[in-house]
Chains A and B, each alone.
Chain A
Amino acid sequence: MSSVAESLVARARARLDWPFLIASVLALAVLVALVLVDGQPAAAALLAFGFALGAVFLKTEFSFTASWRRLIVRGQADGFLGGLLLIAIAPRRRSFQSRRSSLASAGRSLRSGRR
């Protein structure tokens, strides 16, 4: 009985691995700071969104691989349907062809803007 109680206490106390969490957030902060110093908020946003994506993937254990496997091996379509839901929400690119002309000039200005 005492070992069960001990394990419960241990779990309660070890709610979060704080050093790990802090290290991850600090590392992110360093990278965000580096790109903000360069004056690139878009880069900082991408890092932050990536951080959120990583956390969500891990917490929800959203795995394409397992979804494929379940569908093929057992005919279980839950993961596959989840993936389709994801695609339904995901944004779409307009077109490859039409982007070229409008972005050609953007590309030139990007290249010439090197420090």
Chain B
Amino acid sequence: MAATAASAPFAAQSVAAAEIALAAAALGGLLMGWGARLGFGCNIGAFVGGVASGSLHGWVWFAAALPGCMIGIKLRRCSDFRASRPMRTVYAIVFVVAFAALIAQHLTSPSSGRPVSPEDFAGACAPCGAPCPSVQKK
């Protein structure tokens, strides 16, 4: 809600603000991707999945994410710009190309059966298939 309100007067967006917004988006995404892999998930995978399963790591994730969020909020610019026409075109192109690539990839790959995830395999101790620390030490 606040973001919508904050973005209302952005009729004439300065270039610098737009670039900052994009840089923030990129940096945020990069950090999330990196952190999600090391932390065995994001809100859904680690927090929801972990706490629901009664696993301690869910709350550990939460405790770690809390200060991270505080820092992120301090750094965050409340800029959210409306996509310009070129951006919308880029978006449409990306979607179509990605969909085509997806289908091509599917049709050219082997498929071993029912959909799985690395954690279904022996030795997996996390959704990404990482081994348990006790096993690793061997």
Contacts and interface: CB of A to CB of B under 8 A. Distances in A.
**Direct A–B contact in the complex, CB atoms closer than 8 angstroms:** yes
Interface of A: 27, 30-31, 34-35, 38, 40, 42-43, 46, 64, 66, 68-69, 72-73, 83, 86-88, 90-94, 96-97, 99-101, 103-104, 106-107, 110-111, 113-115
B122 A113 contact: no
A34 B115 contact: no
B69 A68 contact: yes
Contacts of A31: 102
B69 A90 contact: no
A100 B54 contact: no
Contacts of B47: 83, 87
B52 A92 contact: yes
Interface in B30-69: 43, 47-49, 51-55, 65-66, 69
Contact of B113 (A87, A104, A113): A113
A110 B48 contact: no
Contact of B49 (A73, A93, A106): A93
The number of chain B residues touching the other chain, given as a range, is: 35 or more
A31 B105 CA distance: 12
B103 interface: yes
B121 A103 contact: yes
Contacts of A101: 122
A88 B54 CA distance: 11
Given A66-B1, A92-B54, A93-B55, 18 more contacts: A31-B102, A34-B103, A34-B106, A34-B107, A38-B111, A40-B113, A68-B69, A72-B66, A72-B69, A87-B47, A87-B51, A87-B52, A88-B52, A101-B122, A103-B120, A104-B122, A110-B113, A110-B116
Contacts of B120: 103, 106-107, 110
B112 interface: yes
Contact of B122 (A27, A64, A73, A103): A103
Interface string B123-138: 1111000001000000
Contacts of A99: 119
Contact of B43 (A34, A64, A97, A106): A64
A106 B103 CA distance: 28
